[in-house]
Amino acid sequence: MAERIELTFLGTGSAIPTKRRNHPAMLLKYKSENILIDCGEGTQKQFRKAGLNPCKITKILISHWHGDHTFGLPGILNTLRLNGYNGKLEIYGPKGSKEWVRKYLDLVGRRGIDLDLKVHEVKSGIIFDEGEYFVEAMEVDHDCPAVGYSFIIREKNRLDGDKLKKLKIPNSPLIGELVKGKVVTIDGKRVDGKKLLYKEAQRKVSFVMDTRYNSDIVKFVKGADLLVCESTFSKRESEELLGQRAHLSSVEAAGIAKKAKVKGLALVHLSQRYEGIPKVILGEAVDIFGKGVVVPEDLERVEL
């Protein structure tokens, strides 16, 4: 059975937090990888509430350097230092990220320099590749340098366990050769690996935070199992703010999801004007995309 992707919504609010919605932050876990996407103020406390350990963070992906997405970073870095974090921490973000991290390290008295820390300024394209999975970035149109991210697990060959049992094939070092589709002999039996394989489909989770509408986003998130997308405003409020905003509305987010044929849509980065799960935001998105829309609240968890 495939390893699951676990995504925890640590903060689902926007510029001003509410009692129910913290500043933006999400943690994606896959095997030993723990990737923090954005790190708004109060993210450390959300880790505690969710029963998660910040010292297991392996990478941090910053969508852009507005305070609501990053003011939690100095505290996280200081906590890692205090707890003797011994991993290699990599921070990815748009142009200017190195200078922003330097400023944030100054806030912790530059003691954060004790960390094994590397900052990558990214453009559109693959930003790291671990073979089995990779992360791709796309520059988006906000009022400062900003990027979206997609976490993608590649399609792979898997052995059909039921077929192995039927053929009574025992555990053997040669099982690895079967995965490659090779013909091997096990206990005197000639076994063709190609006949035992099936394709495990690619899995993809995309994150689109603060941005104006851009049709290129559709291509970037195409076919995602889950699109996590900002939905700061309803259609009406978005129209009232026309020309003054650099954010997506519920209608725009749902339109992207529908055109990209994603399987599920999670709307985040909600304005403080909305309480709980706003019917207007959810309703507008459902009208366009259908029933696969959710408006997650803080600390909710999904598996893919």
Active site residues: 68
Structure tokens at 33: 């990888």
Cβ proximity of 47 and 53 under 8 Å: yes
Separation CA 116–CA 295 (nearest Å)? 36
Three-point CA angle 210, 118, 82, nearest 5°: 95
Q: Tell me the C-alpha to C-alpha distance, in Å, between residue 134 and each of 48, 137, 202.
A: 28, 10, 11
Structure tokens at 60: 């941090």
Separation CA 260–CA 208 (nearest Å)? 13
Separation CA 61–CA 259 (nearest Å)? 26
Q: Tell me the C-alpha to C-alpha distance, in Å, between residue 10 and each of 13, 29, 81.
A: 10, 13, 21
Q: Tell me the C-alpha to C-alpha distance, in Å, between residue 59 and each of 45, 161, 195, 235, 280.
A: 19, 34, 39, 35, 35
